[in-house]
Amino acid sequence: MSDSTYIGVDLKLTGVFHAPGQTVVIAGRFEGEMTAGSVEITKELYLRASQGN
């Protein structure tokens, strides 16, 4: 299993993304619920999400 995940600028992901303990880098588009150790956002990002408990 990888320690990081990269969502490229040409990708659009929708749904539930479960990556506890991983770093997620988002350059593309993500809509949904995410669990991650840390999230890095590039300036090209479109993000639509809600914060869970």
Percent residues over pLDDT 70 in the chain = 79
How close are the terminal C-alpha atoms of the chain, in Å?
25
| Predicted pLDDT of residue 43 | 78
The 10s digit of each residue's pLDDT in 24-37 is: 999 988 899 999 99
Least confident of 17-21, 37-41, 45-49: 45-49
Indicate the pairing of strand 4-7 with strand 46-49: unpaired
Contacts of 11 (CB under 8 A, 6+ apart): 28, 29
| Predicted pLDDT of residue 18 | 93
Distance from C-alpha of 52 to C-alpha of 7, rounded to nearest angstrom: 21
